[in-house]
Amino acid sequence: MTVPVHATSCLRGVNIAGAEFGGPNAVYGQGYTYPSDETLDWARAQNMTAIRLPFRWERLQPELYGDFDPAELARLQVTVQAANSRGLTVILDLHNYAEYRGDRIGAGRVTADALGDFWRRLTPYFLGNDKIVLGLMNEPADITAKVWFDAAQAGLNAIREAGSDQLVLVPGTIWTGASHWFDPQDGGSNADLFQHIEDPVDNFAFEVHQYLDEDYSGTHRTCPRADDAVDALKAMADWLKTHGFTGFVGEFGGTASADCLEGLDYMTGYLNENSDVWIGWTAWAAGDWWGNYPLSLQPVDGEDRPQMRVLAPYFSTAGGAGQCGPAPG
């Protein structure tokens, strides 16, 4: 199979949240939403190359091993087409934290095979689209790397069995934090286990998230650990290079506090300057329904947030800090 090279590098943009909002039974337009045309226009105008699109497993597949909900599938497809038509690659982000209707993968009915079934069903709808990236799962949590590894491998196998050679993003556990990649776990750390992932077309990257606040959660208003956060990415980069892998930072962000803005500038600059190992990033988060959320990147009355004024220079892929690929030797 031919790997679509331009879909595996220079992925730079934001998460556009909304389709993952609400519980599994939330009503569309009341409990959750998909990105508006105005938000997609804004993303394109910012020179982004990609968006990460969170959505919920239970709404697309209301029963394990069951058919997809036609209306929800149509909403997902329409959004993908709208983003692609603006030149944006879409990272399909299964935003479920390694659980389904509150049941954790590996604990009962939600098995590794159930995740494989989901991806085996979804993948054919986007075959041949080189502006699609498949994100196996958002932030697996409360699950060991050993249990999650089997599910991740099952999902990746199912995607390939469905005929896809598209880029797949593989997360670790402990919310796939770069700062936790080497943490000891029962059965082995993310670093111990995921060096053994297998992909017959060799077109995957490891997705990590890395916030800048005091506990790396993205829930505080200041960012005192920006240096530590970038050091965690540097340590993981060494691991990636050792094993011939690449990485993608699917979430990072901060408020408009001075230390967060400085940290965002530092982290994004580091990622772009090391695009031989970090193939891209999507900041958290834009979306039509955020309101006063402190980490929101969504413009207000046509005015960009302070965080976006920091990030904007880094979206470009043309030369300078935006150059993709290894730095000139």
Cα separation of 230 and 236, whole Å?
10
37-45 vs 70-85: helix axis angle to the nearest 10? 30
Helices (H) and strands (E) in the chain, counts: 9, 10
SS3 118: helix
* H helices present in the chain, as ranges: 37-45, 57-60, 70-85, 112-122, 145-161, 190-194, 226-243, 258-273, 306-311
Conformation bin of residue 83: beta by default, left when phi > 0, alpha when psi is -120 to 50: alpha
Cα separation of 46 and 67, whole Å?
37
Query: The tokens 């970038």 sit on which residue?
Result: 230
- Any idea what DSSP says for residue 52? E
| Residues 83/40, Cβ–Cβ less than 8 Å | yes
> Which has the closest alpha carbon to 56: 15, 9, 23, 12?
23
Sign of torsion over alpha carbons 104, 105, 107, 113: positive
- Residue 51: in which H helix or E strand, if any? strand 50-55
Question: 16 phi and psi, to 5 degrees?
Answer: -115, 100
Q: Specify the pairing of strand 99-100 against strand 103-104.
A: antiparallel
SS3 322: helix
Q: Is 139 annotated in the active site?
A: yes
- Kindly give, in sequence order, each residue whose CB lies less than 8 Å from that of residue 22, ignoring residues fewer than 6 positions away: 30, 31, 32
Q: Is 273 annotated in the active site?
A: no
Which is the catalytic residue, given 251, 262, 273, 303? 251
Which is the catalytic residue, given 58, 139, 214, 262? 139
Q: Which active-site residues does the annotation give?
A: 139, 251
